[in-house]
Structures are given as structure tokens and as C-alpha cells.
Amino acid sequence: MNLIPSITFTLAPRIRRRFARSLAVGTLASLLVGQAAMADNPPPNIIIFYVDDLGWQDVQINDVDKPCPFETPNITKFAKAGMNFTQGYSPAPTCSPSRAGIITGQHPAKIGMTHVTLGRIEEGGKSERLVDPYLQDPLDLTLLTLADAMKANGYRTGHSGKWHVGLDASSYGFEVVNQERGPHRSMPDRTKGFATADDKKYPLSKEKYAPFSDKKPQGISYPYDEVTESALKFIGESGDKPFFLNLCHWMVHWPALTRNGELLEYYCDKMGQPFPPKPGDMTLPGQQNPYFASMVTTVDWSLGRLVDYLKKTDDPRQPGKKLIETTYIFFTSDNGGAEKRGKEILSDNAPLKYGKAHAEEGGIRVPMVISGPGIEAGSQFDGLVNQLDYFPTILKLTQSKIAPEDAKELSGLDISPVLKGESQKIVDAAGKERDHLFWHFPHGDEDSMRSAIRRGDFKLYKRHVPNDYELYQIYKDGKRNDYEEVKDLAKNPEYSDVVKRLSETLEAELAANHAEGPYLNPNYAEKTLPVAELGKVSFKANTRMARVNVKPDGPTIQQAYVIYCDAPVEGKKKGAKKKGRRSRQEKVPEDVAIPGMRSPANLLKEGKSANAKIPENIEYYRFMVIDSNNYAQYSEILQAK
């Protein structure tokens, strides 16, 4: 097997203190001038409305082949008031990397967060040729975030809902944080126990909303939703400051449930199913799950609540204007739709191939609509757009400044000229038009471990086992051709030049972004290459230096890291940290070392040894070693004494 050796990412040297200092020194004059102008023309507010696992075909604005049975009247109305992006993509096919990408503006491969398995050691079994890379938990605290930038430019910053990149949102520039789940908490029995008008936690609203039916001609009530209400509270308390709100729903992620009995009954009736549903998995094919449908419509209701609030509320900074006139809303999902969970069928992304946790179209193409001042109502853009574009676009829309060295690190492009109808092209700072997007997902089984690139009508995949490529023509002359990705053209001589050009660009992007993994599995029963043999790890208490050696007659160390760990737990699978730890914590300083983090080790003796200093506050650690044959392995968890 001829695997191209992986290139391991290096933690970015940029730190927030440097950002704040460069901003203060380098742009103070321009900011002062800008503040004077703001008095007459206040900067717009920014809202990112982020849904979890909502597929491109789970809403009614992108109907292809069959109409979507899930009712999303508010999303449809919202699209008619803004710009719909028919080729909008998430940075990754799963949650954490997309969230990290959108908040840092940097590609998940570049920042070393390509999946949700944060702080988890993936040691493969005997039948697995490849293993996932280790992903640091939490997101690197030294990275500049969108919240940092907005806060430094005079914005009030708030986060409501799901976070899922480690620690708490308050450690990444958000001043007001509420990460509670609201009504999406688990239920003992999802077929009963629905919310009531006098429910202590989830009282039903007095107001009635869609859907309307013969049974409920006036509409239905919705349970109190803390994610939505805390977001509205944040907006209302922002006063005369512009605000940046990161509103991230826990829905429509598993568990598939609803506390809204009226809504569930509506969908059971619509889908010809009994109410209450029978206990057990919902296994009808396609989009026939009434629980999932109820979650989609609940998210739609939340967007409607938000937009209605903005329409009715005055902007205290601009007399005579409502907040809807001074606010940009970025609506999208963190990845493509989740089609199944165990035996339960949730939804169907057809005609797109696969779904969440796959780099195919069903896993990364997402609903995307942006509205706000200067955006033509009912407009549409059919070019390639990625959520990584949000960071530079928001900077431009708000005239916010960041240090030049930080701006150079951003992976996305400013799409504000497209939003304002000034251009149909997305270009970089040098005026070069965008011609591709790429993804890196070295996780899951061998077939899902893929990197991908879209350019023009084509999409190319790099399969890591075997080390070759697949090519599909998604469009032909800009029109739908192979959404289903069923006709592989990679071996067709007619397309050899396309494969060559796209593969070269993809490999260049992977190298430039220090894309890591997958690695060879040293436990694989049929491996053909030798594996470096780790020797005993030593530790010097007076210098706190730990050292690992490999046997001299085998492969050398190519890269090495030290991973900070929790104390090992008897009977538990080895890992860097206990699952779920630090999901809620107070703000953490950027220079602190905590379990889950990793740090590069120094290579010694031409790769026969590696050492690293263990921070004073870290009690346990382990080494990660990638040898010259690209095998990844880990030492035992050791105590720093």
C-alpha cells in the first residue's frame, strides 16, 4: 500500500494579546476616524443562525425531484427576503470542525480539528488499515475568533445554544453565554409527557403559530425554548451597542424527539401514522419520521420568532428604523443531513449522495440564506460558497479591523460584493477569482476517510485506501448532471487531464494547510511495513522533561507530540481525557495547559528519540509518535513524577 505520508499541523503562533496590541497600535487612527463616522452611520448587527444536522433537502427552498414534506414557511419567507445560495457548503461533514471553522475563519484541516472526536485516542483493531489523527481538545485558545474581532471593534458578543469545540464559548471572546439545550433534552419516553400550558420548564406559548390544519385552524403553541429566548434577551439588552449573536440550535441532531404534542400529532396525521406513535425506532424510508419533521419545523418557528422580533423592535441607535433593517442574518447548517441513527431513519438527502460524516455532497452541501441591508430580496447565487467566507465577509460588512497578519490566516473570501449585487464573482485580495473549495475528513471507516475538491462542474475525491482518486461531474455546463455521484470518471482517459489538475490542486491545499492523517494502524494484522518499537519513557522531575526512545534498528520518529491527560481510569479505554469533562467551565486563560491539549515534541538523535517539557500543572501525559512509515502509536499514560 503506497500511502502518501501525512503532514502534521503546527499550532498557530498567533495569540490574542498580539492581536489586541497590533490592533491598538496599527489601526487606532483608522478606528477613531471610523468611530466618528459610526455616529452618523452605526455599524450593522450580525446574527449567525446555525442549525445542527439540517440537510439541503430538509427545507422547502431547495426542492429537487420531490417536494420536501417538512414544513418550513419561515425559512421560505426568509429566503424570499434575502439571498439563497444553491451551492452553499459547510467547512466539514460533521459538527465540531464546521463550528471551529466558522468561528475562526480557518479551514478545519489547518487548525487540526477535522471531526467531533476531540481528545479521543483512536487505536485501530486488527482489521483496520488506517487510524484517525488525534484531535486536540479544546480548540486552540491562541486562535483569533470572530467574537474576539467583533468585541475588539466595539461589538457586544453573545452565544446561545450548542458550542461543541471544547471548553465554554466565554473562553473564545463571547461576553454573554447560554449553552443550555432547552426542550431538546432527552425524554424518558418520547411518545408521551408532552409540554403543557402550565409546564414549569417548557410552558406552551399563548400565541399560536404554523402549521394550521382542520384540527387546529388557529395554529398551535410551542414549548418555551431557552435557546431562542436567551438569544432574544441578549438582543434586547444590547442597548446602544451593535451586537454579534451566535445562535446555535441543538436541533435537528439526535435524539429525534419533540415536547410539542400538537406538532407531533400534526405530522403523524400528515404522514398517515398513528398518534401517539408506537414505541421503538421509526423505520419508514425517506422523509417520513414525524419526530424529525417536528424538529425541523421547530427550528423554522425559532427563525420566525427571531425575524418577527427584529421587525417589531426599534434599533435604539437609529431612530425610525427597526432592527430588521440594520441586521445581517446568516442562516445555515453545520453539515449535511443525518439520514440514520442506528435502525432509525431520520431523513433522506436524495438526490445528494450520503449524508453527515461523508465528504460526498449529502454530507457537506447545506441550506444557506443571508439577509440584511443592501441584499436584494429573492435573489440567488449559484457559485461556490463556504461558511469559511463568513468571517472576512462580516469584517467587511461591519468595517471591522483585524491585524494584517491575522487577516492573512483566514481561509475564506469576502462575498459582500455578491451579497450587494455588485459582482457575480468571488475574488481574493489580489483580484483572483475563486475556482475551488476543498475538504479533508480522515475519519470513520476506510471508505469515508476522504479528501475532496470541487472545481467548476467537477468534484474529485482522494481515497486514502487505496491511494487513488474518484471523479464525478456534478454539473455539465452549469446544469445538474450527477448529483448522485454514481458515474466515476477517474479511469476514463478523456478526463485524465481533469484528474491531474484537480489532484495537484488538492494535494497542494492539503500540504499548505498541514492536513493531518489518516495514519497507518500498527495493530493491523496484515501490515507489510515495520513499525517503530517504543522504548521506556523517562521523566526528569527537576527539569520536567519527558523523553521517549525507539529501538535503533527500526523506523525512526517522523513527528512526535506530548498529550496532556487526565488520570487513567481503571477498566476504561485509554484516552486523553474523560468523555464529557469540561463541557461547562468558567473562562480559561489562553496560556493554560489542560488535559486534552497536545504540544509538539523535539526530535533528537536523528529521529531515534523525542522529548518535551511537561507543564507544572499537568500531572499525567502520554506521547504520540508517528514513525517514518507513517504508523501512529501512543505510549501509556504516565505520571509526571
Residue 67 lies in a domain: yes
Domain count of the fold of the chain: 3
When the pLDDT of each residue in the chain is averaged and rounded to a whole number, the result is 93
* 69 C-beta neighbours (distance < 10 Å), count: 16
Residues 182 and 221 in one domain: yes
Q: pLDDT over 90 for what percent of the chain? A: 88
Any idea what the CATH number is for the domain that residue 66 is in?
3.40.720.10
Per-residue confidence at 572, pLDDT binned at 50, 70, 90? low
Residues 67 and 161 in one domain: yes
242-285 per-position pLDDT tens digit: 999 999 999 999 999 999 999 999 999 999 999 999 999 999 99
Any idea what the CATH number is for the domain that residue 488 is in?
3.30.1120.10
Residues 399 and 513 in one domain: no
Per-residue confidence at 586, pLDDT binned at 50, 70, 90? low
Per-residue confidence at 604, pLDDT binned at 50, 70, 90? very high
Per-residue confidence at 37, pLDDT binned at 50, 70, 90? very low
Residue 343 lies in a domain: yes
- Find where cell 445538474 sits: 480
pLDDT of 574: 52
Single out the residue in 387, 419, 451 at which a domain terminates: 419
- Decide if pLDDT at 459 tops 90: yes
Question: CB–CB of 148/16 below 8 Å?
Answer: yes
- Decide if pLDDT at 591 tops 90: no
Whole-number Å distance between alpha carbons of 358 and 380: 26
pLDDT of 25: 36
Which helix (H) or strand (E) element contains residue 292?
helix 290-312
Residue 180 lies in a domain: yes
Residue 12 lies in a domain: no
Residues 363 and 467 in one domain: no
pLDDT of 36: 43
Residues 351 and 412 in one domain: yes
Residue 526 lies in a domain: no
Whole-number Å distance between alpha carbons of 450 and 115: 12
Residue 209 bridge partners (DSSP): 220
Residues 469 and 502 in one domain: yes
- Decide if pLDDT at 191 tops 80: yes
pLDDT of 73: 99
Whole-number Å distance between alpha carbons of 282 and 270: 15
Residues 444 and 413 in one domain: no
Residues 232 and 339 in one domain: yes
pLDDT of 569: 81
- Decide if pLDDT at 107 tops 70: yes
pLDDT of 590: 74
Rg (CA), the chain: 25
Which helix (H) or strand (E) element contains residue 73?
helix 73-81
Per-residue confidence at 615, pLDDT binned at 50, 70, 90? very high
- Decide if pLDDT at 517 tops 50: yes
pLDDT of 571: 58
Per-residue confidence at 176, pLDDT binned at 50, 70, 90? very high
- Decide if pLDDT at 477 tops 50: yes
pLDDT of 531: 98
Average pLDDT over every residue of 545-561: 97
Give residue 490's domain range: 437-519
Any idea what the CATH number is for the domain that residue 617 is in?
2.60.40
Residues 99 and 220 in one domain: yes
Which helix (H) or strand (E) element contains residue 362?
helix 361-364
Single out the residue in 519, 552, 570 at which a domain terminates: 519
Residue 3 lies in a domain: no
Residues 402 and 451 in one domain: no
Q: pLDDT over 70 for what percent of the chain? A: 91
Per-residue confidence at 398, pLDDT binned at 50, 70, 90? very high
Model confidence pTM above 0.85 = yes
pLDDT of 545: 99
Residue 256 lies in a domain: yes
Question: CB–CB of 217/303 below 8 Å?
Answer: no
Looking at 153-209, list the stretches that DSSP marks H as alpha helix, in order from N- to C-terminal side.
none
Sign of the dihedral through C-alpha 306, 307, 309, 315: positive
Residue 565 lies in a domain: yes
pLDDT of 588: 75
297-336 per-position pLDDT tens digit: 999 999 999 999 999 999 999 999 999 999 999 999 999 9
DSSP code for 252: T
3-state helix, strand, coil in the chain (%, to 5): 25, 20, 55
Residues 556 and 595 in one domain: yes
Single out the residue in 384, 419, 454 at which a domain terminates: 419
Residues 508 and 474 in one domain: yes
